[in-house]
Chain A
Amino acid sequence: MTQNKQIKQFAKQLLKMSVEGGDLSADRVDGVLKALDKNPPRHHIAVLKAYLKLVEREVAKSTAIISHAGVIGARSVELISKQLSAKYGRSIVPITREDPSLIAGLRVVVDCDVYDSSISNVLSTLESSLS
């Protein structure tokens, strides 16, 4: 239990070192990894796994995964990332993905938050309200 906590604590420190000006920096992550490789800590794999989890979460927080059915204009993508950046107070990088299962419309995911205006979501809401 306490060992687990120590590992989490250490991973958190590593994450702090990986952030520059509020945003995760690829250079810094690279530096952290190199340093770990040179001086392997106790429970190296566990530390790396905990670090990975934190970095994943950090990436998710500053990424907007925009799923769409049909084409989506570059202008819309830019607008979405701009609005989200303003909302969350950090720069949000958009990633677009085509997903025909949405039928039509968009689904934007930033970390835990989902903004869904797709037809498939409307249909499933309708379905659950009927059952």
Chain B
Amino acid sequence: MSSVIEQIEQQIANLQTKAVASNTGKILKIGDGVAKIDGLSEVMYNEMIAFPGGTIGIALNLEEDEVGAVVLGESNHLKQGDEVKCTGTLLSVPVGNGLLGRVVDALGQPVDGKGAIESTETYPVERIAPGIIERKSVDQPLMTGIQAIDSMIPIGRGQRELIIGDRGTGKTTIAIDTIINQANINKVGIASGDPDFRPVYSIYVAIGQKNSNVARTLGVLEEKGALEYTIIVSAPAADAAANQYIAPYTGAAIGEWFMANGMDALIVYDDLSKHAAAYRQMSLILKRPSGREAYPGDVFYLHSRLLERSARVSKDHGNGSLTALPIIETLAGDLAAYIPTNVISITDGQIFLETDLFNQGIRPAVSVGLSVSRVGSAAQQKATKQVAGKIKLELAQFRELAAFAQFGSDLDAKTKAQLDRGARIVELFKQPAFNPIPIEQQVGVLWAMQNNVFDDIDVSKMVAAANSLRDFLSSRKEALLTSIREKAKIDDDLTAQLKAAVEEWKPTFA
């Protein structure tokens, strides 16, 4: 027993003799979540600063005679003259598997009332992106479950594909669909026992959204059984601008853990327009010089350093990937505004959603002409390439010709056929929200389209026909679907099976 007492005495003695050295400063001015601080002679850029009451801030402006810092969270208790300390560390957040199924705030702390998060590791929120040597080219597909995207604008693991469009055009829905699809694929893949199967974990970062919206998203993910593979990072509109500013970097750090540990992850930033606005607000209060649209000069760097962190890394450098789906909200479809042009220039392509299409009932409202994926086709699986190779071109021609459709009977046979085919493809790609379609079903239906199976079906019945064929395949031809999925290409044997299946289905659809 006496040894225990000695131990405690020793501890006390240690504490007594050890002088704690710290670099300190005093608050000169505080307001709107931003503090001007005198002192802190040793502070680094982006270093965590300890305010009284356990509050933390981040040093963002290092000037000759003062330091500008943003306060994370509540700042009402802070006042002029309060002492602040350097911490010598950059902001870090908990990472790891323990976060799956959880909702955390911008600092990685749980906000879902499900108790503490099990995590033994932390990652810095700001990190240098992987260099050229560490990267591998993108050549594995990441299926969104949205037919128009998987067939015409395919996305690969490690890619950065922007989702852009006006408010209410279905941007968030596409991102959530993709997350749900990953969960569906994970369940099938894990159940198959295939040792080479690579699940995709998802991180959804909600920036500046209403709490009710985040709650709705959470509800959808839960209902669809996708939450167990998903982490939500939430910095709602009610949070301080600094929290909204930091949240995407927190999400990236959480995603990097998967990438560094041989796993694949998907991250959605919803959305970077609000992120830029939060940064602008902070910068204006910090009195940084501002430029175009009142954004500070380094707003480009804000998003480039974030999106550069998405990559696919080689075996020796983690053997994982982080795919990013940043979202940008445009005003009146203006792609040439400052933030949209910046982000378009640093991503590997964009999915552009159009209000007009959405209002015409063409949902998802993907604009084929303005959407592109610059690296994904290397990752698209062979089966999809085989059945969808010409579809993008056919649709583009359809859009060009559509203007002439009003001339009706005056058109030549070829033009009529093109218009007819285009109209069918448009119908085929209609898909309700939160209903991603497995790739093997997509391939089956596209094969039927390619082989003119739908040609004698009225355009107005196309959606029903496609649904009916999918139902038929999934309920009656499971083995065929499984072999499409596993072979990932259509050989003679599969062609014969598809032909037979479609012939069997056709009479059932009246």
Contacts and interface: CB of A to CB of B under 8 A. Distances in A.
Interface stretch (B22-30, B381-389, B413-421): B22-30
B18 interface: yes
Contact of A111 (B17, B18, B41): B41
Interface residues of B, number: 18
Interface of A is mostly: mixed
Given A122-B15, A128-B54, A131-B54, A112 B20 contact: no
B20 A121 contact: yes
B16 A122 contact: yes
A125 interface: yes
Main secondary structure of the interface of B (DSSP, over half): mixed
B42 interface: yes
B47 to A, nearest CB: 14
Contact of B22 (A111, A114, A128): A114
B25 A116 contact: no
Interface in B1-22: 15-22
Nearest to A125: B20
A112 B39 contact: yes
Interface string B329-353: 0000000000000000000000000
A53 B66 CA distance: 12
Nearest to A122: B15
B16 A113 contact: no
A84 to B, nearest CB: 11
A55 interface: no
A24 interface: no
Given A117-B16, A117-B18, A122-B15, A112 B23 contact: yes
Contacts of B15: 122
A115 B39 contact: no
Nearest to A54: B65
A45 B19 CA distance: 41
* Of B15, B40, B42, B85, most A-chain CB atoms within 10 Å: B15
B17 A112 contact: no
A113 B22 contact: yes
Contacts of B39: 111-112
Interface of B: 15-25, 39-42, 54, 65, 85
Given A113-B23, A119-B16, A131-B54, 9 more contacts: A8-B65, A105-B16, A111-B39, A112-B23, A112-B40, A114-B23, A115-B19, A117-B18, A121-B20
29 contacts: A8-B65, A105-B16, A106-B19, A111-B41, A112-B23, A112-B24, A112-B25, A112-B39, A112-B41, A113-B22, A113-B23, A113-B41, A114-B21, A114-B23, A114-B24, A114-B85, A115-B19, A115-B20, A116-B19, A117-B16, A117-B18, A117-B19, A117-B20, A119-B16, A121-B20, A122-B16, A125-B20, A128-B54, A131-B54
